Amino acid sequence: MRTIMHVDMDAFFAAVEVLDNPEYAGKPLIIGGYKDSPRGVVSTASYEARKFGVRSAMPLRQAALLCPQGIFIPGRMHRYQEVSHQVHSIFPEFSPVVEPLSIDEAFLDMTGCEHFYSSLEEMGTCLKQRIREETGLTASVGIAPNKFLAKLASDWRKPDGLFVLRPHEVEGFLRDLPVSKLWGVGKKSEEVLHKHGLYYVRDILPHSLTWLQERLGAAMGAQVFNLARGLDDRPVEPWTDVQSVSNEITFPEDQDSFDFLRQQLAKMSEKVGWRLRRQGLYARTVSIKVRFGDFRTITRSHTLEHSFNDDDTIFQEALHLLQQVKLKPVRLLGVGVSNLSEGAQLSLFDAGSGGSASKLTEVMDAINRKYSHGTITRGRTLPQSDTPEH
């Protein structure tokens, strides 16, 4: 039996702004852009702003209508990264097995560390106190036998929450949750479950694994079957000494359509970008790897002046490299980034250049984090039938 702790900072960007600008305390604060910015979306809303119905990923204009008295600011990614590093540097004091999940979240495997504390509640309280001492900010903590349950638990008493879920309490805790709380259940699977009259986790329990798999597909059916029972055996995976992040795909048949390869590059660029951002890393070099039908393999790379972690830069650079390769039927294609660092050399939130692309990425990441990666993707990853050949 594992003991997993999930830590999630409360309204992180907004909380950092209040920390640095005490005059914002207790006010509805909306990070993402100015009120009249035509294309922006909300990145984070303070709890006061959430009372007006303002949510992450909502267009700023809509937020301004819901909460006209709100304080709208573009945000300072550099500063959030800085505080994020402070927070993440506390976790190794508690466990050697830490998986950073995002700029303000992590899983800690606390298995075997239980006896250092008088109770699991004390364990959670200690971490919350350390974060508060070190940063002045509040976090919510969930402690449970696995990652899925720990993440639900940290959300349960937010903000400044602490919730411990013990094995014998799991069944009762899950019963009355809506099916959408199960990881991976997005709009499509939810619709299928609703169609069969399954609205709450308890409604899933009477159905067999096969019954669920027939309706949701093999993988999703099994996941829903297990998660409904509170079963999740994924280990906490620490990111250590990452030198590069890459993704590659071997095609079942050799491919010679440039459009198809471009589409694959776009998909892989999103995956690589997502993994970079998930680890709070930036890269300076993009590489591609191409294996031809005759098994000859080449790599090409390009290093930029500035660091980046957005899908667009990765994709554009990879595409540029691919365009310079004399194409023959391709068996394998890969995209990678290297020259990694923990700090950005450009601000994601600076008004003007590149701001909205980064905000889009931020919102896509938020959605993908919630519903599993790939839920939302850019149009260029889809087949384009009438794009002219390059």
Give catalytic residues, as residue numbers.
Answer: 105
- Contact segment (CB under 5 A) with Mg ion among 7-15, 248-256, 326-334, 369-377 equals 7-15
Q: x/- binding map, residues 11-30, to Mg ion, per CB under 5 A? A: -x------------------
Which of 117, 216, 209, 211 is closest to 162 using CA atoms?
A: 117
* Both tokens assigned to 324: 């310079």
- Contact segment (CB under 5 A) with Mg ion among 8-16, 201-209, 244-252, 279-287 equals 8-16
Place of tokens 């892989």: 268
First to last CA, the chain: 55
Length of the chain: 390
Q: Round the CA-based radius of gyration of the chain to a whole number and report it.
A: 22
Task: State how far the alpha carbon of 280 is from the alpha carbons of 14, 315, 371, in Å.
Answer: 19, 19, 20
Residue 371 Cβ vs Mg ion, minimum distance, rounded to whole Å: 16
- Contact segment (CB under 5 A) with Mg ion among 98-106, 118-126, 160-168, 191-199 equals 98-106
Residue 302 Cβ vs Mg ion, minimum distance, rounded to whole Å: 35
Edge-to-edge strand list for the sheet holding 44-45 = 44-45, 29-31, 71-73
Single out the residue of 4, 5, 7, 9 in contact with Mg ion (rule: CB under 5 A).
9
Distance (Å, rounded) from C-alpha 176 to C-alpha 174?
6
Residue (48 or 317) nearer to Mg ion, CB: 48
Kindly state whether residue 8 participates in binding Mg ion, applying the rule CB under 5 A. Answer: yes
Residue (67 or 137) nearer to Mg ion, CB: 137
In whole angstroms, what separates CA 325 from the centre of its chain? Answer: 33
Kindly state whether residue 101 participates in binding Mg ion, applying the rule CB under 5 A. Answer: no
Residue 188 Cβ vs Mg ion, minimum distance, rounded to whole Å: 26
Kindly state whether residue 104 participates in binding Mg ion, applying the rule CB under 5 A. Answer: yes
Show Cβ contacts of residue 171 under 8 Å, excluding neighbours closer than 6 positions.
229, 230
Residue 44 Cβ vs Mg ion, minimum distance, rounded to whole Å: 8
Residue 377 Cβ vs Mg ion, minimum distance, rounded to whole Å: 23
Contact set with Mg ion (CB under 5 A):
8-9, 12, 104
